[in-house]
Structure 1
Amino acid sequence: MQGPGTVREKQEKERNELRDLVGKNLHVLGQIEGVDLEMYKETVLPRVLEQVVNCKDKLAQYYLMECIIQVFPDEYHLQTLEALLAACTQLMPTVDTKIVLTQLMDRLSNYAASSPDVLHEFLQVEAFAKLSNAIGKVIDTQLEMPIVGAMTLFVSLLTFTLRVHPDRLDYVDQVLGACVVKLSSVPKLEDARAMKQVVALLSAPLEKYSDIVTALTLSNYPRVMDHLDDGTNKVMAMLIIQSIMKNDSCISTADKVEVLFELIKGLIKDLDGTNVEELDEEDFQEEQNSVARLIHMLDNEEPEEMLKIIYVVRKHLMTGGPQRLPFTVPPLVFSAVRLVRQLEAQGGDIAGEDVPATLRKIFQILNQTIEALSSVPCPELALRLYLQCAEAASDCDLEPVAYEFFTQAFILYEEEIADSKAQVTAIHLIVGTLQRINVFGVENRDTLTHKATGYSARLLKKPDQCRAVYACSHLFWVDDPEGIKDGERVLLCLRRALRIANAAQQMVNATRGSSGPVTLFVEILNKYLYFFEKGNPHITPSDIQSLIELINTEMLSDNGNTTIHSDPFFSSTLRYIRFQKQKGGLMGEKYDLIKL
């Protein structure tokens, strides 16, 4: 007795045998010598397609269309494209037409790539227009087609377009526009497979055009991205940035930057319903570092246009919120500083028609930008950026501007930086920057150096105080023909550092019950030697000799267990002095006055 399952298996077997037979017959038909393009076009294809459409069997229709596409030459398909596409639109609604059309487009695009001469044929038959219209009809008539099916068709059509007509950006944009229309008919794109196809659609132009600027000219590109969910939007934004980095693309106009930042807005500000606190910290940092690297790819040799770019970038970045600003503000600041250097090299301000590129205007933008960062709060980073801007203003000979940036840095130090380690780092940054700046007059310089030395002497730990104070000695002796050379104040700083070091040593000795390390003394000794060699008349051989004797005394007082050779730093310093004595010459004569 036969059951339903057995009957179904028998029917399937018969169907497969019939399918193979029909397929072989079509294959033979395609190989017959007399079947040329004219006969195929006038006789063979119309009759075969008539049988396909009239059979009203979804499996048979699908298989027969597949056979036609596979067994007949690509040239025949191109010349009969209209008839083939018309048949596709007449198939049963349940036939998987997207696979048929995808196979057809794959064959045609491969055919187009086979020879440059073939492309002319594609233009003659208007292949893109016919395929686009056919796909539109299939999507409109097959109401049951899921959204993923429609997206798959658009991906295939875009792939065909990029391979056959890569120079026709209007065709590419037309495909993206059709995709927007379809996506707009769906309340919300929640199908993960459809979302994947949309990403493939958006990725195709990035892969084809190594220059991201080409993709930025596609008006429908951002409209497609608007239909992605927040997570996928970020993935796509990262792909765009990676494409720019991979191809070393430079975005050189404000208009293009505006479009680009609209595309990657999911990375530079919180989208609706997004909570930064819930994001994975490592992923978030990677995203923001990518945005920071991207900012360095925005450049234009024309100062006026570059200033426009900076305005656009700043407008977008300032919406990023406190978590993003520490990543994105620094590259923006350095881009603006680079523009300052460019203007300064060209001789100063350039008055443009729209946005005049003036040095003071750029520094005003920098001040406002860093001020936003300091309110995050992120005072240590803000202080570093203020100092960078102060140095740039000094190079442009803008003393009031440089002084203002230093003032802002000092305010941050006093009011916002409380951690002792951060204070130490900040002081050395301030001193180092102030040392390199030569724009200040006597009054302003005295004010700033007084502040810096005062902060140094008030650090929490004695060793930190000592090192910061002797670092301040360089503020009064700049190794430059036009630099300040106040030997007396250098000596005052070094003596003050020596007193602090002595106090620190006594505290250590009291704690240990014996002499502690003499590192601070040796460091100060090296500063004495530096200024001695630079010709500071207030640093005498007797000062150096006294300091060497002090170090020897401290080392030998450690219960007799320590020798002068047990401190490598001190031993190395003494070897240097001996070397200078042996070398002779003017410097050797100076060192001969030091007795070891």
Structure 2
Amino acid sequence: MASYSENMEQAISHIKQQTILMQRSLTQKKLMDALKHSSDMLKELRNPDLSPKLYYELYIIIFDSLSILSQYLVENHPTRHHLADLYELVQYTGNILPRLYLMITVGVSFMQTKDCPAEEVLKDMIEMCRGVQHPIRGLFLRYYLSQRTKQSLTSDILLDKKFDVQFVITNFVEMNKLWVRLQHQGPLRERDIRTKERKELQILIGSNLVRLSQILDDSFPLYRDEVLPQILEQVVQCRDVVSQEYLLDVICQVFPDEFHLGTLAQLLDSTLKLNPDVVINKVVLSLIARLNGYLDRQDDPSVVIQNLKQLHLNGSTDTKATSESNVDSAENKADADVTPTNKVDLFFVFWKYLTKITDERPDLPFHEIIPLVHSIMLLSLKWYPTNLSNIEILYKFCWEKYQEFGSTIPEECEQSFKEFFEYPLNTESFYEIITKCDSFQKLLSVQSVALQKDIINSILDKIIETNTKISEKHHLEKLGAICEPVIPVPNDKSKVSKLTVDDELDDELTFLNPEQEKLAKIVHLIYHKNVDQNTELLLICKKWYYKGGKQLRYTYPALITEFWKLIRKLHLKSLKIPARKEKYYAKIKQLFKYVSRCNADLFNICGLSVSDLLFKLNLQTAAIADQLELSEISYDFFSQAFTIFEESISDSKIQFQAIVNMAQVLQKTRSLYNEESYYDTLITRCTLHGSKLLKKTDQCRAVYLCSHLWWATELSLIGEEEGVTQYFFREGKRVLECLQRSLRVADSIMDNVQSCQLMVEILSRCCYYFIHGDESETHVGVKYIAGLVELIQANLKGLQLEESGDTQEYSVPAQNIVIGGDGSYICKVLSSSVCKVSNKIPNVRIPDLIAVPVSYFERTLNYIENQKQVDDRFNAIVT
């Protein structure tokens, strides 16, 4: 019959029952009976069918029960019994497992007395524990020994710290052997189950290392010379993956950071001897995390870095010799100019380790090497943030390894590479890394297109976010090389069918993608105090933007605006230093040539799809040239704008808007006056184009708007003032001709509503000229305005005859209809304070449309009446 219970419930019940009986015997001072009940209780731990989890549950209950016995033994020594005699007595217990538990309980209680030979008792107990070789039973027995001796080993009872340390190490070694042996118990098919059970027990092994760290306190020499070598020897010799991974992680976690700094090389070298299946990355990452955390916790990190020698770096007296002998090793992996200069810095130790592990472990997968290199980068950026040569070494190392592995690199490496590239972007020195580390760009260039775009977007975002100024030529060239994959966008040539003209235009259109937008923003970060060097930087930028093909439509406008800024900057310098004006203006003319070249590239590559953009760029450039009194250059750009208008802009709406833009810019020019033919030629040409627009409504509006080209008004920004400025370009006769021309066009329109609307608009222009000039100058007088009023009234009467008498429910009120800038009717549909605009007016009656010009005309007449109160000249106008 078994001496233990059949199931867990019975075992717990039996333990509790024996505990009660033991306590009762102790109360009655019957020690032998109490020991007997304790022995019966301990037999439950002999059950071979218990899983580690259930065994641990029973162990906790028994531990608490034995604590009661231990307390009693200490309190009654030596009055009722002597613990030395009792220690001998319990060794006669029948079963070995209860015998050893009782022996440890009595022995530890004995050690708390003054006359106890503590070292002898400890040696005896640890030797006797060898009698239990069952993995689970032996583990918990030694764990019990560790827990019971905890207070004794960390107190002043034992003065020899070396003995305490050796005792714990011995117990640790034996426990680890039992823990490893557990993996090989039972059938092979249950290996995964046993691995899971072993991980449930790993805390028992780790508790020994925690105990060691408590005993050692700050005794670094003892740790370096005695403790760590023995622990690492056991870790290496066990050859078990689970054990090696766990124990190295515990070593990194439980011992002080200063200890790791002093034994770094020793600890790293041990990982080279591990089972090949061990994931070394976990160990190195854990160690680096501890070292980085240690630096963060220091008040003055720079002092710690300077005193690495005093922190026993590399942990041996021959550190210097070792470092010197390995200089060549590092130089073989990197150029001499990027080899670590400080042969004893942390980076060198990890770099030496990296080269050694890749040499000794050629079978190490590439996806395990990358995280290892990444972790070393983390350490270097934390401890030596200004030493970018370290980062170059790591990127070059990865580049060389990439070449070695070639196409065998698995897809899972992509995420590792992504982290490897992105982490430096979160540091303050990110810009120096991407511009000074040549291997960064080389390694990035061999990645997948998707990953390259991802990283390039992150780089551009970071540069834009931090507003990093690009002022060095080689920096810009490096950035251009990095961004090269996203500059050109391949055209979709899958369509082979015949294309119409409209299809060709659609095919030329390219949607704006995020990369192009960011590349355009980068241009605005290019800056150098020297204009010549700034120009050179922009030209470099222009060179690699040119590779973008049709994407120029998004990047070149930004480049052109930067040339405009340089032009204005040089102009300001010429005003401050008149003696160098000619030199500055020579550079300004060259910059205008660059702008012209950019415009030409845009048209040659993007074609008709950018006609409107080019038209506006030429207009703005012409305006800048005019402001700098460069009339010839201004005229040239105006001419280019007209050429684009004539040859490339065919849409009627865009044509009308182009004429309006041209008139706005020309009206503000001043230097073109100096050359009579320039200004007169341009404004005549502009008006002529306006009069030839396809739609008559556009013709009418374009011509009366162009009338302002012959009637300049003050520009307060340049100091002009009406009545003070001596000369304004004004030809009233031409103004009147334009108004008459537009009136003839308006009168010829078949749509009477549109015709009347345009006439009212012309009347408003006439009132403007009447107010801002004498009749002798503008030729727009009372007689002309009165005649126009009569004409409009007559036409409106004719319109009212068209009104039908029937009413409709869906009638649109006149105040909800307006006429757009292109002459189309727009209906404002009001619904709960939300105004919706529709270009199509459904179910609108003719009277509703007629009401629009009528309402406009009435407002104009009211204005004239109001003006009579402030200007007597208006009294002559009969309304």
The equivalences for 1:71-82 within 5 A come to 71-82=254-265
> Following TM superposition, by how much is the alpha carbon of 1:229 offset from its aligned partner in structure 2, in angstroms?
1.8
| Residue 413 (1) aligns with residue 645 (2) | yes
Q: After superposition, what is the alpha-carbon deviation per residue over 1:70-121, rounded to whole angstroms, capped at 9, x for unaligned?
A: 1111221111111111112222222110111111111111111111435444
| Residue 92 (1) aligns with residue 92 (2) | no
Q: After superposition, what is the alpha-carbon deviation per residue over 1:370-392, rounded to whole angstroms, capped at 9, x for unaligned?
A: 01111220222111111111111
TM-score, normalised via structure 1 length: 0.90
**SS of aligned partner of 1:362:** helix
Residues 113, 164 of structure 1: 8 Å contact kept: no
- Larger-gyration structure (1/2): 2
**Quick one: distance in 2 between partners of 1:38 and 1:145?**
34
**Quick one: distance in 2 between partners of 1:571 and 1:300?**
59
**SS of aligned partner of 2:268:** helix
User: Letter of the aligned partner of 1:443 in structure 2?
Assistant: S
Residues 666, 709 of structure 2: 8 Å contact kept: yes
Match of 2:751 among 508, 526, 531: 508
Match of 2:593 among 350, 364, 367: 364
User: Letter of the aligned partner of 1:548 in structure 2?
Assistant: V
Measured at CA, do residues 276 and 9 of structure 1 come closer, stay the same or move farther in structure 2, by a change above 3 Å? closer
**SS of aligned partner of 1:542:** helix
Measured at CA, do residues 358 and 211 of structure 1 come closer, stay the same or move farther in structure 2, by a change above 3 Å? farther
Measured at CA, do residues 12 and 194 of structure 1 come closer, stay the same or move farther in structure 2, by a change above 3 Å? closer
| Residue 483 (1) aligns with residue 728 (2) | yes
**Quick one: distance in 2 between partners of 1:141 and 1:155?**
20
**Quick one: distance in 1 between partners of 2:693 and 2:409?**
58
| Residue 592 (1) aligns with residue 858 (2) | no
Residues 295, 304 of structure 2: 8 Å contact kept: no
Match of 1:556 among 797, 802, 805: 797
Measured at CA, do residues 328 and 595 of structure 1 come closer, stay the same or move farther in structure 2, by a change above 3 Å? same
Match of 2:860 in 1: 573
Measured at CA, do residues 436 and 575 of structure 1 come closer, stay the same or move farther in structure 2, by a change above 3 Å? same
| Residue 543 (1) aligns with residue 771 (2) | no
Match of 2:473 in 1: 254
Match of 1:458 in 2: 692
Name the % identity: 30
Match of 2:743 in 1: 498
The equivalences for 1:55-454 within 5 A come to 55-123=238-306, 124=308, 125=313, 126-188=345-407, 191-209=410-428, 212=431, 215-270=434-489, 275=491, 285-322=513-550, 324-347=551-574, 358-375=587-604, 376-377=606-607, 378-440=610-672, 441-454=675-688
User: Letter of the aligned partner of 1:553 in structure 2?
Assistant: A
**Quick one: distance in 2 between partners of 1:51 and 1:356?**
81
Residues 307, 357 of structure 1: 8 Å contact kept: no
Residues 303, 357 of structure 1: 8 Å contact kept: no
Residues 317, 325 of structure 1: 8 Å contact kept: yes
**Quick one: distance in 2 between partners of 1:574 and 1:189?**
85
User: Letter of the aligned partner of 2:771 in structure 1?
Assistant: E
**Please, which runs of 5 or more residues in structure 2 have no aligned partner?**
1-184, 314-344, 495-506, 715-724, 804-846
Measured at CA, do residues 23 and 394 of structure 1 come closer, stay the same or move farther in structure 2, by a change above 3 Å? same
User: Letter of the aligned partner of 1:524 in structure 2?
Assistant: I
**Quick one: distance in 1 between partners of 2:600 and 2:863?**
47
Q: After superposition, what is the alpha-carbon deviation per residue over 1:355-413, rounded to whole angstroms, capped at 9, x for unaligned?
A: 99701111111111101111220222111111111111112211111111112111211
User: Letter of the aligned partner of 1:156 in structure 2?
Assistant: S
**Quick one: distance in 1 between partners of 2:585 and 2:853?**
64
Q: After superposition, what is the alpha-carbon deviation per residue over 1:175-201, rounded to whole angstroms, capped at 9, x for unaligned?
A: 222222222223248644322222222
Residues 457, 515 of structure 2: 8 Å contact kept: yes
Match of 1:512 in 2: none
**SS of aligned partner of 2:549:** coil
User: Letter of the aligned partner of 1:362 in structure 2?
Assistant: L
**Quick one: distance in 2 between partners of 1:365 and 1:127?**
52
**Quick one: distance in 2 between partners of 1:430 and 1:356?**
26
Match of 2:129 in 1: none
User: Letter of the aligned partner of 2:711 in structure 1?
Assistant: W
> Following TM superposition, by how much is the alpha carbon of 1:252 offset from its aligned partner in structure 2, in angstroms?
2.3
Match of 2:832 in 1: none
Match of 2:124 in 1: none
**Quick one: distance in 2 between partners of 1:211 and 1:567?**
67
Residues 619, 638 of structure 2: 8 Å contact kept: yes
TM-score, normalised via structure 2 length: 0.62
Measured at CA, do residues 408 and 14 of structure 1 come closer, stay the same or move farther in structure 2, by a change above 3 Å? closer
Residues 237, 263 of structure 1: 8 Å contact kept: yes
Measured at CA, do residues 357 and 53 of structure 1 come closer, stay the same or move farther in structure 2, by a change above 3 Å? farther
Match of 1:36 in 2: 219
Measured at CA, do residues 282 and 244 of structure 1 come closer, stay the same or move farther in structure 2, by a change above 3 Å? farther
**Quick one: distance in 1 between partners of 2:272 and 2:603?**
63
Measured at CA, do residues 461 and 338 of structure 1 come closer, stay the same or move farther in structure 2, by a change above 3 Å? same
Measured at CA, do residues 244 and 7 of structure 1 come closer, stay the same or move farther in structure 2, by a change above 3 Å? closer
Measured at CA, do residues 209 and 357 of structure 1 come closer, stay the same or move farther in structure 2, by a change above 3 Å? farther
User: Letter of the aligned partner of 1:525 in structure 2?
Assistant: L
Question: Using CA pairs below 8 Å that are at least 6 residues apart, which structure has the higher relative contact order?
Answer: 1
> Following TM superposition, by how much is the alpha carbon of 1:152 offset from its aligned partner in structure 2, in angstroms?
1.1
Measured at CA, do residues 189 and 580 of structure 1 come closer, stay the same or move farther in structure 2, by a change above 3 Å? farther
**SS of aligned partner of 2:239:** coil
Residues 216, 256 of structure 1: 8 Å contact kept: yes
> Following TM superposition, by how much is the alpha carbon of 1:499 offset from its aligned partner in structure 2, in angstroms?
0.7
| Farther off after superposition, 29-38 or 530-539 | 29-38
User: Letter of the aligned partner of 2:558 in structure 1?
Assistant: P
Q: After superposition, what is the alpha-carbon deviation per residue over 1:110-165, rounded to whole angstroms, capped at 9, x for unaligned?
A: 11111143544445231111012212322333323322211111221112222222
**SS of aligned partner of 2:713:** coil
> Following TM superposition, by how much is the alpha carbon of 1:565 offset from its aligned partner in structure 2, in angstroms?
8.6
> Following TM superposition, by how much is the alpha carbon of 1:45 offset from its aligned partner in structure 2, in angstroms?
0.6
User: Letter of the aligned partner of 1:346 in structure 2?
Assistant: K
> Following TM superposition, by how much is the alpha carbon of 1:571 offset from its aligned partner in structure 2, in angstroms?
2.8
Match of 1:54 in 2: 237
Alignment coverage as a number of residue pairs: 577
Measured at CA, do residues 488 and 183 of structure 1 come closer, stay the same or move farther in structure 2, by a change above 3 Å? same
User: Letter of the aligned partner of 1:326 in structure 2?
Assistant: R
User: Letter of the aligned partner of 1:41 in structure 2?
Assistant: R
Measured at CA, do residues 10 and 310 of structure 1 come closer, stay the same or move farther in structure 2, by a change above 3 Å? closer
> Following TM superposition, by how much is the alpha carbon of 1:476 offset from its aligned partner in structure 2, in angstroms?
0.8
Measured at CA, do residues 51 and 428 of structure 1 come closer, stay the same or move farther in structure 2, by a change above 3 Å? same
Residues 570, 585 of structure 2: 8 Å contact kept: no
